[in-house]
């Protein structure tokens, strides 16, 4: 950002110097030497040399270069902003509010339009969340390993598993990334070793696991709620529509809390904290926080000498005789 602003400042100064001269116009080489002599700072000289080289190469004016630099800075600012999931989720919430207002005013045509847009945005979110991206890549890998010419498709399967692993490791929406990285690394090696049947079985299991991830479950329920509201709207049953939209709104609130949360699953056998337990059985009580399978039931407190007591540190020490 600082470098862009410095570039634009140098371009503007260069344009002013070139435009304020009287008498015969200097050559391009003379302009360059004069500008370079004006700036003693090595960073400024480096940037200015790059600007002059770009001008000679493209034939652009200094004003054109300044506009191009400003456009790049704006694009960089956009890329540093909210993630696509965060942006589209904000869109979905705003559309839901508009739909509710239209229903309350019995403007059914506008309400149908808004709900259709909410539904489309939810479907987009299902593809954008990390679990959705991972599922898409794994479906491609599974398809590649089910063909008749598996040897030819093996590279595609390997690349697809690697893409799923990349999402699991590097996604910007870290709090909602399924904890599958270790397993995906193992499956990638299995594909590369030519153990295609074993790899296909593992990939199918991963698809089943990631499909039950809490983000996809919440979004699927939200989409179902929108469909229910649209069905009730055909009967002009306003109270039923409002009830369905209230449920969708509650799901959106939970989804927003999930986006803001810290990662709820850490590698290793560490026990869940008290903060994690209420989330572990969200809505159905069958989906774990990481989507890695059924959540464990909340057990009664273990005996004093049990394994949980050993893991609780200070509490265990306080009971030691």
Assign 3-class secondary structure to the chain: CHHHHHHHHHHHHHHHHHHCCCCCCCCHHHHHHHHHHHCCCHHHHHHHHHHHHHHHHHCCCHHHHHHHHHHHHHHHHHHCCCCHHHHHHHHHHHHHHHHHHHHHCCCHHHHHHHHHHHHHHHHHHHHHCHHHHHHHHHHHHHHHHCCCCHHHHHHHHHHHHHHHHHHHHHCCCHHHCCCCHHHHHHHHHHHHCCCHHHHHHHHHHHHHHHHCCHHHHHHHHHHHHHHHHHHHHHCCCHHHHHHHHHHHHHHHHHHHHHHHCCCCCCCCCCCCCCCCHHHHCCCCCCCCCCCCCCCCCCCCCCCCCCHHHHHCCHHHHHHCC
Across all residues in the chain, what is the average pLDDT?
74
pLDDT band (50, 70, 90) for residue 241:
very high
pLDDT at 82: 86
pLDDT band (50, 70, 90) for residue 177:
confident
Q: In terms of domains, do 75 and 114 share one?
A: no
Higher per-residue confidence, 115 vs 313:
115
Q: In terms of domains, do 95 and 207 share one?
A: yes
Please determine, for residue 288, whether its predicted confidence score (pLDDT) is greater than 70. Answer: no
pLDDT at 189: 94
Last residue of a domain, one of 184, 215, 246: 215
Q: In terms of domains, do 40 and 92 share one?
A: no
Q: In terms of domains, do 145 and 44 share one?
A: no
Quick check: is 123 in a domain? yes
Q: Write out the residue range of the structural domain in which residue 66 sits.
A: 2-79
Token digits of residue 267: 């590698």
How far is 180 from 172, CA to CA, in rounded Å? 16
pLDDT at 281: 37
Q: In terms of domains, do 58 and 35 share one?
A: yes
8 A C-beta contact, residue 213 and residue 180: no
Please determine, for residue 228, whether its predicted confidence score (pLDDT) is greater than 60. Answer: yes
Please determine, for residue 284, whether its predicted confidence score (pLDDT) is greater than 60. Answer: no
Quick check: is 30 in a domain? yes
How far is 132 from 215, CA to CA, in rounded Å? 9
pLDDT at 101: 95
pLDDT at 236: 82
Give percent of the chain with pLDDT exceeding 90: 45
Q: In terms of domains, do 89 and 210 share one?
A: yes
pLDDT at 303: 44
Last residue of a domain, one of 191, 215, 239: 215
pLDDT at 273: 41
Q: For the residues 137-158, what does the mean pLDDT come to? A: 87
Quick check: is 173 in a domain? yes
Higher per-residue confidence, 35 vs 137:
137
Token digits of residue 250: 């509650």
CA distances in angstroms from 17 to 31, 34, 35, 229, listed in the order given: 9, 9, 8, 65
Last residue of a domain, one of 79, 103, 131: 79
pLDDT at 252: 96
pLDDT at 72: 62
Q: In terms of domains, do 66 and 162 share one?
A: no
Higher per-residue confidence, 211 vs 23:
211
Quick check: is 229 in a domain? no
Please determine, for residue 184, whether its predicted confidence score (pLDDT) is greater than 60. Answer: yes
Give percent of the chain with pLDDT exceeding 70: 55
Quick check: is 75 in a domain? yes
pLDDT band (50, 70, 90) for residue 235:
confident
Q: In terms of domains, do 37 and 63 share one?
A: yes
Q: In terms of domains, do 184 and 101 share one?
A: yes
Quick check: is 258 in a domain? no
pLDDT band (50, 70, 90) for residue 269:
very low
pLDDT band (50, 70, 90) for residue 306:
very low
pLDDT at 316: 40
pLDDT at 83: 87
Q: In terms of domains, do 30 and 93 share one?
A: no
Quick check: is 165 in a domain? yes
Quick check: is 52 in a domain? yes
Q: Return the half-sphere exposure (C-beta side, CA atoms, 13 A cut-off) of residue 99.
A: 29
Closest CA to 176 of 217, 136, 213, 219: 213
Domain count, the chain: 2
pLDDT tens for 25-78 read 555 556 555 655 665 566 666 666 666 676 667 666 656 655 665 666 655 555
Q: In terms of domains, do 51 and 109 share one?
A: no
Q: In terms of domains, do 51 and 106 share one?
A: no
């Amino acid at each position: 950002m600082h470098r862009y602003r410095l570039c634009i400042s140098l371009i503007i100064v260069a344009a002013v110097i070139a435009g304020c001269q009287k008498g015969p116009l200097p050559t391009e080489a003379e302009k360059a030497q004069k500008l370079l002599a004006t700036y003693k700072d090595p960073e400024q000289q480096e940037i200015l040399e790059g600007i002059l080289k770009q001008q000679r190469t493209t034939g652009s004016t200094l004003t054109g270069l300044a506009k191009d630099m400003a456009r790049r800075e704006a694009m960089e600012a956009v890329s540093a902003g909210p993630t696509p999931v965060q942006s589209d989720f904000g869109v979905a919430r705003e559309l839901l509010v508009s739909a509710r207002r239209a229903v309350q005013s019995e403007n059914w045509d506008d309400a149908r339009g808004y709900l259709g847009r909410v539904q489309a945005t939810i479907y987009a979110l299902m593809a954008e969340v990390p679990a959705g991206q991972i599922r898409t890549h794994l479906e491609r890998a599974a398809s590649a390993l089910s063909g008749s010419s598996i040897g030819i498709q093996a590279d595609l399967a390997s690349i697809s598993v690697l893409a799923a692993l990349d999402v699991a490791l590097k996604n910007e929406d870290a709090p909602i990334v399924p904890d599958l990285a270790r397993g995906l690394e193992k499956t990638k090696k299995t594909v590369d070793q030519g153990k295609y049947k074993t790899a296909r079985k593992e990939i199918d299991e991963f698809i089943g696991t990631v499909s039950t991830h809490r983000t996809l479950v919440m979004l699927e329920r939200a989409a179902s709620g929108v469909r229910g509201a649209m069905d009730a709207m055909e009967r002009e049953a306003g109270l039923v529509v409002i009830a369905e939209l209230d449920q969708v709104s509650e799901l959106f609130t939970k989804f927003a809390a999930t986006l803001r949360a810290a990662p709820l699953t850490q590698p290793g056998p560490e026990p869940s904290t008290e903060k994690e337990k209420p989330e572990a059985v969200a809505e159905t009580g069958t989906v774990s926080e990481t989507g890695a399978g059924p959540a464990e039931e909340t057990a009664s407190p273990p005996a004093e000498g049990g394994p949980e007591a050993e893991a609780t540190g200070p509490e265990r020490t306080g009971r030691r005789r």
